[in-house]
């Protein structure tokens, strides 16, 4: 700021005085001081502070000398001087004196300050009244603005008399009359000077100055204005996101700013994160804001019907071992009331959640006891109803338990530049041993399920830590009961649960420390437990107002009688539905809310509930139904002025409509004009102009004019537009046509749009013959001509657009003289189908009329549907009829024909966003619609299922058909052979209209029922008939089946088979024949027959009715007829099974299949004759064909190969094997249908081992054959009488002939005297003559050769004459010998 030299010093002095005055005014406060004469009382803390001041204040020299003398005297007496000893009284007097002295000094200083202030203000007032040179109280400041923004330079001046003001730009005086209209606005009001520069451009960047002068002097102030150009992405992107407060990056929240995009990501959203979020973004026109409401929905409950989770869990009144927890009830109770809440806690940083309460808490506030001092906790809450438990709430913020009275018991005194002295009450109260009783025992909270007590610590408390015991007593009794003996309270807070409802109690508390227990405190006032906390009433007078096309504003009255809820929950329901939707899961605290996210054009009702600690209130009365549409507001400013025609003294002006119409029809426009030769604007019209084209008359030829306009709707007059460009009033004489105007885009889709414009008002030398359409992308300057040949119409469809790109269009008119100037470009349009865009529906209504319908949920009350055909004008009123209901318009074709073919388009007026569509009605479409129309006007009852014939269990015949569902007024006529049938017991007719069922049940079906059955149906206009031909083979087949079922039903009145005889082959290859009978009695008999003869071995279970015949090993003899018979006095039934020929073969095939599946892998067994390959099966029959293969070559039985089988084995015997017998052997088992192959490899080591074992066995067989043997002849026992001759004979064999030795009692017999042996070939005989008792003994013959030996034994018993051996069979032989063998 520049100033004349001789005024500079004076202005600096005045500026300092002014700043000092402002500072004194802002910092001076009224304080009330007590005078020194007033009586003073001091608290202990004030005494402590005064004592510290006395200790730290400067001490006089004589006082120090006296103090040193006193200390010396005391030391001489053997005593030590202490500050808190016997001189306490003297110190107290000094403290009081210092306090009073400080107050007197403060009084005097305040009075002097007030006097100085008053004098200064009086002096300044006198100076202001006198004349003075101008000065800048607040100078100009520098400004930096975006291009096209408005900037205001302002400063405040003081001068007497008022100065003359002149503004300069770069040293050149600013004259508003020479600048474009509205460019500069200069004001001077009460010393405030302002210069407003509108629509800043880069040329407005300059140094601006203001000069003020009067007769006493002059002053200057300078400021620079910098206009910045916005380059989009190149200039960076900066934004701020708010939710009441400025949001920053955190652990669960991430903010990103990149290019032209800003995003906020919440990693794990909770209902506490719900609310309005606002983003603050810089733009060319300043800062802009966008706000959205984020609704956090409850996660799906684990149990259907469980409530939503609570929210806003907070901790209050935190002490050493307890705190109070509060939360907010959920908005969704899941369909049944919330019964209570479960509280859980965990140590911060862990996930080990521990329950805090056994029973559900009824209210949303509860004390938590039993905590540890100094520990950090987190809490969460779950809601409970009869269906289940909700998800847990978001954990509370971590909270650390502590002693809140600790800070109150410490006094900190600062002295000597930052040093402090701490005075602890504990040190002053060390003399307290047994504690004093607490005081002020009272109930701080009384709830339905608990009473919270609070009290004051005893004063003085003492140095030792205290605990507390709580006692209770029923009012009227003298007995006291201690309630927390096991858990003394560490803090002066305690909660009692499970008190008797409706009973009154008194409470008292005892203090305890390590020295002992105090006396009880005074009893509390009587407290009545169990009073239920009632929910708050719902809000009243809930009103809904329109806001935007997707939101509604709700307002309601606050609760009366000073009731303060925690907030409100809002619910909405679409009209016609019963389900209420939650609008907010986080309570709103104000009594107004904007409900977002509604469907445009839909009708809703709303209600509100109050939220308190007791839960949710009842619902408020429902609002009146409201349709979601924008609220009516004043329109925005018109734009895009263009000159369409100009005469000598008149101009025809056109303009574009406002972008925002305010939700109502534009009633007209007010137009202003401005002659650049004049300073002021003048009204053109008094009454609104309904069109956007107007001819302004009485103008001065050759003058330059500007125009501006404002739109008006039922809400009022909107904003005034920016002034138009300068138009010169000069008559047009050009031969080419003027510019077309009002170029608009309709039916914008992903790759096409419809362009429409108005013909130019100035046609030139000849009529307009056509138009050319140009296009360019937004931001570019290269225009592309779309049509090579001019189009004669004022509309054109533009196709092949690139989805997502922004385009601008303009139109040029042509006549014989040439092409005229282009029109004003259209508004930029993005080639993209907007979400929710509706198309024209083509269909047939219930009356059979063909229609075209269009629905526009976003229309306003004043909006109209404008239908056109082929874009030339409205359809012929004689051929169509228009109907409009709500948001839907219908165009009905009266007499559809080929004359109605063409393109139909519709446009919705008075909406901010373009709503339009088109539909081409083709010949193919018309034919389909006419066919459908004929079907509707001449309807047929639709057939679902034609005539069906069912034969019922008792032999009844059911004839039925099914059509579509019929109304209760439907009629049926059933015709049989040209005669109408009526329902009778033998011919029962059923007509179920709701299911479309026609049914005829004939009891005794016979030849009289042969013929034609016709069902004639009629339901309103719809009708149809259906005929059944029941003749010839069809009739015979039904009659036969009915007769069979009738006989079958009669048979079932006695015992009968419900499961016929059938066979089954078990896994053990047994054949099982089974059947099952029902309706049995105790007299029922069961019999098995085979080939008409009784068959034994079968079983029958009367309890289950199952008969079983098991054939363990079936053979050809079992082939035949099997029959099971069940009978009693009520009747007889049988079931028969034919197991002959093919049936028996099928059984054998199944038997073979199971047997083949049971075959074990091939095994190799060496024998003395050769090598045997075999497999074990459960049962082998001759029907199973077996084939052996060696190296894939089929083997035949011959001398060395023998194939055979037994009942349980199939084998191949290789006799005298050689190397040629090596290789793979395969056994193929054929069961009649399939082959089953088993293989083994007889080669390599397997062959060598088998061959070696074969040779060993062969040699062993040869040795066994040639070995010495006792073949026959010797008995086991021989009994002989004395004096007889004993002859023992046996046969021996062996090659070579064996050596023979006889033994008696294991001693070799020497043959002499009476003993003789005779060997004749293989017969060996031993003879003993005249046997005696000494010959009794054990005799044996031992034969031996080189291949082996064998022993034959006989026992000889000699008895005397006349004796008979006991226990032996007797047989007399020649020689008197009796051979005896044991029985």
Higher pLDDT, residue 1149 or 645: 645
Q: Quick check: 690 pLDDT over 70? A: yes
- The residue-averaged pLDDT of 298-302 equals 85
Count of beta carbons in the 10 Å neighbourhood of residue 1245: 7
- The pair of three-digit structure tokens given for residue 400, joined into one six-digit string: 């650390």
| Under 8 Å between Cβ of 495 and 505 | no
User: Measured in Å, how far apart are the chain's first and last C-alpha atoms?
Assistant: 156
pLDDT for 498 beyond 90: no
pLDDT over 80 at 1372, yes or no: no
DSSP 914-962: --EEEEEE-HHHHHHHHHHHHHHHS-BPPEEEEEEEEE-TTS-EEEEEE
Asked whether residue 363 carries a pLDDT value surpassing 70, the answer given is yes
pLDDT at 16 over 60: no
Res 37: pLDDT = 37
Assign 1279 a pLDDT band (cuts: 50, 70, 90): confident
CB 326: neighbour CB atoms within 10 A? Answer: 17
Quick one: average pLDDT of 575-590? 91
| Beta strands, E only, 621-681 | 626-627, 639-646, 651-656, 668-675
pLDDT of res. 612 = 92
Q: Tens digit of pLDDT for each residue in 333-342? A: 888 899 999 9
**Euclidean distance between CA atoms 725 and 710, whole angstroms:** 16
What are the DSSP calls for 684-696, one per residue? S-SSPBSSSEEEE
Residue 774 pLDDT: 95
Which tokens belong to 1294?
């062996």
Please report the pLDDT score of residue 19 as a whole number. Answer: 52
Cα distances (Å, whole numbers) of residue 1188 to 1173, 1175, 1183, 1222, 1240? 10, 12, 16, 14, 11
Structure tokens at 986: 């033998």
Q: Which residues pair with 467 in a beta bridge?
A: 512
Range from 1-15, 413-427, 1216-1230, 1338-1352 carrying the lowest mean pLDDT: 1-15
d(CA 171, CA 1231): 121
The burial of 820, by beta-carbon neighbours within 10 Å (0-12 exposed, 13-18 middle, 19 or more buried), is given as buried
More reliable by pLDDT, 812 or 1134? 812
Give the pLDDT band (50/70/90) at residue 1380.
Answer: very low
Residues 184 and 335: their CA atoms lie apart, in Å, by 66
Considering only 102-111, 420-429, 472-481, 498-507, which range has the smallest mean pLDDT? 420-429
Q: What is the mean pLDDT of residues 1198-1208?
A: 82
pLDDT digit string, tens, across residues 232-242: 444 444 555 55
**pLDDT of res. 990:** 93
Look up tokens 């009002």; give the residue: 742
Report the pLDDT value the prediction gives residue 890, as an integer from 0 to 100.
93
What does the pLDDT read at residue 335? 85
Q: Is pLDDT above 80 for 127? A: no
If phi > 0 it is left, if psi is from -120 to 50 it is alpha, else beta; for residue 105 that is: alpha
Cis amide leading into 1296 (omega within 30) = yes
Average pLDDT, whole number, for the chain?
85
The answer to whether the bond into 249 is cis (omega within 30° of 0) is no
State the pairing for strand pair 1185-1190/1193-1194: antiparallel
Residue with the larger pLDDT of the pair 192 and 259: 192
C-alpha 752, offset from chain centre: 38
> According to the model, what pLDDT value does residue 991 have?
93
pLDDT in tens, 852-882: 999 988 888 888 999 999 998 899 999 999 9
Q: How far out from the chain centre does Cα 980 lie? A: 62
Q: Could you give the angle at the alpha carbon of 131 between the alpha carbons of 126 and 132, nearest 5°?
A: 100
pLDDT exceeds cutoff 80 at 260: no
Mean pLDDT over 398-411 rounds to: 86
Report pLDDT for 695. 95
Mean pLDDT along residues 1224-1241: 87
The counts of H helices and E strands in the chain are: 9, 98
- CA 583 to CA 598: how far, in whole Å? 10
Residue in 813, 826, 713 with CA at minimum distance from that of residue 762: 813
Please say if the pLDDT value at position 826 is more than 80. yes
pLDDT band at 727 (very low <50, low <70, confident <90, very high): very high
Q: Residue 221 CB: number of other CB atoms within 10 A?
A: 21
User: Computed over its alpha carbons, how large is the radius of gyration of the chain?
Assistant: 61
Q: Is 202 helix (H, G, I), strand (E, B) or coil?
A: helix
- pLDDT, position 1043: 85
- How buried is 498 (Cβ within 10 angstroms: 0-12 exposed, 13-18 middle, 19+ buried)? exposed
For the segment 508-526, what is each residue's pLDDT rounded down to a tens digit?
999 999 888 999 999 999 9
Q: What is the mean pLDDT of residues 740-755?
A: 94
Dihedral (C-alpha) 958, 961, 964, 967: value to the nearest 10 degrees?
-60
Write down the pLDDT at residue 1375: 46
Mean pLDDT of 1245-1251: 87
pLDDT of 614 > 80? The answer is yes
pLDDT of 1367 over the 70 cut:
no
Give the tens place of pLDDT for each residue, 882-894: 999 888 999 999 9
Which residues are paired to 720 by β-bridges? Answer: 710
What average pLDDT does the segment 391-408 reach?
A: 90
DSSP assignment string, 298-349: PPPPSSTTPPPP-EEEEEES--SS-EEEEEE--S--TTS---EEEEEEEETT
Q: Is the peptide bond before 368 cis (omega within 30 degrees of 0)?
A: no
Summarised one tens digit per residue, pLDDT across range 1074-1104 is 999 988 888 889 999 999 888 888 899 988 9
Please say if the pLDDT value at position 357 is more than 60.
yes
β-pairing, 217-228 with 143-146?
A: parallel
Pairing of strands 261-266, 253-258: antiparallel
Q: What is the pLDDT of residue 553?
A: 92
pLDDT single digits (tens) 19-74:
544 444 333 333 333 433 344 444 444 454 444 444 444 445 555 566 666 666 65
Question: What pLDDT was estimated at residue 56?
Answer: 44
Q: How do residues 1037-1057 score in pLDDT, each as one tens digit? A: 998 888 888 877 877 778 888
């Amino acid at each position: 700021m520049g100033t004349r030299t001789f005024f500079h010093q004076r202005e600096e002095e005045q500026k300092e005085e002014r700043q000092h005055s402002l500072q004194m005014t802002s910092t001076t406060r009224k304080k009330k001081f007590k005078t020194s004469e007033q009586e003073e009382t001091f608290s202990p803390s004030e005494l402590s502070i005064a004592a510290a001041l006395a200790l730290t204040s400067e001490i006089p020299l004589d006082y120090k000398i006296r103090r040193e003398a006193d200390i010396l005297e005391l030391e001489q007496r053997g005593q030590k001087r202490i500050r808190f000893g016997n001189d306490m009284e003297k110190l107290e007097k000094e403290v009081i004196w210092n306090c009073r002295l400080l107050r007197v000094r403060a009084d005097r200083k305040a009075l002097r300050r007030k006097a100085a202030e008053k004098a200064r203000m009086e002096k300044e007032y006198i100076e202001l009244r006198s004349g003075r040179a101008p000065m800048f109280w607040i100078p100009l400041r520098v400004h930096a603005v975006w291009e096209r923004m408005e900037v205001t330079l302002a400063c405040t001046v003081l001068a007497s008399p008022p100065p003359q003001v002149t503004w300069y730009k770069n040293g050149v005086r600013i004259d508003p009359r020479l600048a474009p209209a509205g460019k500069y606005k200069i004001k001077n009001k009460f010393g405030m000077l302002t210069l407003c520069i509108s629509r800043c451009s880069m040329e407005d960047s300059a140094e601006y100055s203001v000069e003020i002068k009067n007769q006493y002097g002059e002053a200057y102030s300078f400021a620079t204005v910098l206009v910045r150009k916005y380059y989009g992405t190149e200039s960076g992107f900066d934004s701020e996101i708010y939710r009441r407060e400025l949001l920053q990056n955190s652990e669960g929240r991430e903010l990103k700013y990149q290019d032209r995009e800003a995003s906020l990501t919440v990693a794990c959203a909770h209902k506490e994160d719900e609310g309005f979020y606002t983003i603050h973004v810089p733009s060319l026109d300043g800062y802009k804001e966008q706000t959205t409401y984020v609704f956090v929905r409850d996660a799906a409950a684990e149990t259907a019907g469980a409530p939503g989770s609570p929210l806003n869990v907070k901790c209050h009144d935190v002490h050493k071992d307890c705190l109070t927890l509060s939360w907010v009830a959920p908005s969704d109770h899941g369909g049944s009331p919330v019964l209570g809440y479960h509280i859980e806690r965990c140590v911060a940083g862990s996930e080990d959640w521990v329950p805090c309460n056994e029973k559900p808490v009824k209210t949303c506030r509860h004390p938590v006891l039993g905590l540890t001092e100094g520990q950090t906790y987190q809490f969460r809450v779950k809601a409970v109803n009869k269906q289940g438990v909700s998800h847990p709430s978001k954990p509370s913020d971590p909270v650390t338990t502590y002693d809140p009275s600790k800070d109150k018991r410490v006094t900190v005194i600062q002295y000597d530049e930052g040093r402090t002295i701490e005075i602890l009450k504990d040190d002053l109260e060390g003399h307290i041993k047994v504690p004093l009783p607490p005081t002020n025992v009272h109930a701080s909270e009384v709830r339905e399920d608990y009473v919270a007590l609070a009290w004051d610590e005893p004063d003085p408390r003492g140095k030792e830590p205290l605990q507390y015991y709580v006692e209770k007593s029923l009012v009227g009794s003298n007995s006291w009961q201690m309630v927390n003996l096991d858990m003394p309270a560490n803090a002066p807070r305690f909660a009692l649960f499970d008190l008797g409802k409706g009973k009154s109690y008194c409470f008292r508390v005892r203090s305890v420390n390590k020295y002992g227990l105090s006396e009880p405190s005074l009893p509390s006032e009587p407290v009545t437990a169990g009073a239920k906390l009632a929910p708050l009433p719902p809000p009243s007078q809930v009103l809904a107002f329109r806001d935007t096309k997707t939101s509604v504003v709700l307002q309601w009255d606050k609760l009366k009688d000073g009731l303060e809820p925690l907030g409100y929950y809002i619910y909405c329901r679409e009209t016609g539905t019963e389900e209420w939707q939650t609008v907010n899961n986080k309570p709103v605290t104000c009594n107004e809310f904007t409900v977002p996210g509604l469907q445009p054009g839909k009708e809703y009702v709303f209600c509100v509930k109050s939220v308190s600690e007791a839960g949710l209130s009842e619902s408020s009365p429902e609002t009146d139904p409201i349709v979601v549409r924008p609220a009516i507001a004043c329109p925005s400013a018109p734009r895009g002025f263009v000159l369409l025609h100009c005469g000598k003294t008149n101009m025809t002006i056109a303009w574009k409509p406002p972008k925002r119409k305010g939700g109502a029809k534009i009633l007209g426009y007010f137009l202003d004009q401005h002659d650049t030769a004049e300073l002021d604007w003048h009204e053109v019209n008094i009454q609104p102009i309904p069109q956007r084209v107007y001819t302004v008359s009485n103008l001065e030829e050759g003058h330059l004019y500007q125009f501006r306009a404002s739109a008006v709707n039922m809400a009022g007059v909107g904003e005034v537009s920016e002034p138009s460009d300068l138009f010169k009033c000069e008559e047009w004489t050009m031969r080419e046509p003027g510019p077309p105007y009002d170029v608009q885009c309709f039916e914008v889709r992903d790759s096409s749009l419809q362009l429409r414009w108005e013909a130019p008002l100035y046609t030139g030398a000849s009529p307009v013959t056509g138009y050319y359409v140009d296009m360019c992308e937004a931001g570019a300057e290269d225009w592309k001509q779309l049509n090579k040949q001019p189009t004669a119409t004022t509309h054109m469809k533009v196709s092949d657009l690139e989805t997502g790109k922004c385009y601008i269009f303009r139109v040029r008119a042509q006549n014989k003289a040439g092409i005229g100037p282009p029109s004003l470009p259209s508004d930029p349009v993005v080639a993209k189908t907007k979400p929710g865009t509706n198309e024209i529906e083509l269909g047939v209504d219930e009356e059979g009329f063909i229609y075209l319908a269009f629905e526009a949920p976003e229309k306003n009350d004043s909006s109209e549907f404008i239908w056109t055909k082929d874009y030339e004008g409205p359809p012929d009123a004689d051929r169509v009829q228009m109907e409009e209901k709500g948001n839907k318009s219908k165009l009905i074709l009266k007499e559809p024909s080929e004359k109605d073919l063409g393109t139909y388009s519709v446009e919705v007026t008075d909406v901010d966003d373009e709503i339009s569509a088109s539909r081409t009605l083709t010949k193919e479409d018309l034919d389909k619609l006419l066919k459908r129309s004929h079907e509707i006007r001449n309807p047929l009852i639709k057939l679902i299922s034609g005539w069906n014939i069912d034969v019922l269990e008792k032999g009844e015949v059911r004839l039925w058909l099914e059509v579509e569902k019929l109304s209760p007024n439907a009629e049926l006529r059933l015709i049989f052979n040209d005669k109408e049938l009526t329902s009778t017991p033998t011919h029962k007719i059923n007509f179920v209209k709701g299911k479309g069922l026609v049914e005829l049940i004939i009891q005794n079906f016979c030849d009289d029922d042969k013929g034609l059955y016709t069902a004639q149906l009629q339901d309103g206009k719809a009708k149809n008939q259906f005929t059944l031909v029941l003749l010839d083979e069809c009739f015979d087949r039904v009659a036969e089946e009915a007769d069979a079922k009738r006989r079958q039903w009669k048979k079932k009145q006695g015992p009968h088979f419900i499961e016929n005889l059938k066979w089954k082959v078990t896994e053990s290859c047994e054949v099982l024949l089974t059947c099952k009978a029902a309706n049995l009695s105790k007299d029922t008999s069961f019999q098995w027959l085979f080939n008409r003869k009784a068959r034994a071995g079968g079983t029958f279970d009367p309890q289950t009715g199952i008969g079983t015949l098991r054939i363990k090993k079936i053979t050809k003899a079992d082939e035949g007829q099997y029959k099971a018979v069940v009978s009693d006095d009520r009747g007889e039934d049988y079931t028969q099974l034919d197991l002959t020929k093919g049936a028996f073969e099928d059984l054998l095939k199944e038997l073979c299949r199971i047997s083949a599946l049971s075959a074990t892998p091939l095994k190799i067994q060496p024998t003395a004759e050769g090598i045997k390959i075999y497999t074990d099966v459960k049962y082998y029959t001759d029907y199973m064909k077996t084939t052996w293969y060696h190296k894939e070559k089929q083997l035949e039985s011959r001398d060395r190969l023998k194939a055979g089988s037994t009942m349980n084995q199939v084998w191949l015997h290789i006799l005298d094997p050689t190397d040629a017998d090596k290789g793979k052997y395969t056994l193929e088992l054929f069961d009649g249908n399939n082959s089953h192959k088993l293989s083994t490899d007889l080669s390599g080591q397997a062959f060598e081992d088998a061959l070696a074992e074969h040779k060993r066995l062969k040699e062993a067989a040869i040795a066994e054959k040639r070995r010495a043997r006792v073949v026959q002849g010797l008995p086991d026992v021989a009994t002989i009488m004395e004096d007889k001759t004993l002859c023992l004979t046996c046969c021996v064999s062996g090659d070579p002939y064996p050596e023979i030795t006889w033994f008696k009692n294991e001693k070799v017999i020497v043959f002499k005297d009476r003993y003789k042996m005779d060997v004749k070939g293989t017969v060996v005989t031993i003879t003993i003559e005249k046997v005696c008792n000494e010959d009794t003994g054990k005799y044996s013959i031992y034969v031996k050769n080189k291949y082996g030996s064998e022993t034959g034994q006989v026992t000889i018993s000699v008895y005397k004459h006349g004796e008979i051996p006991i226990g032996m069979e007797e047989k007399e032989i020649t020689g008197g010998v009796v051979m005896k063998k044991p029985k």
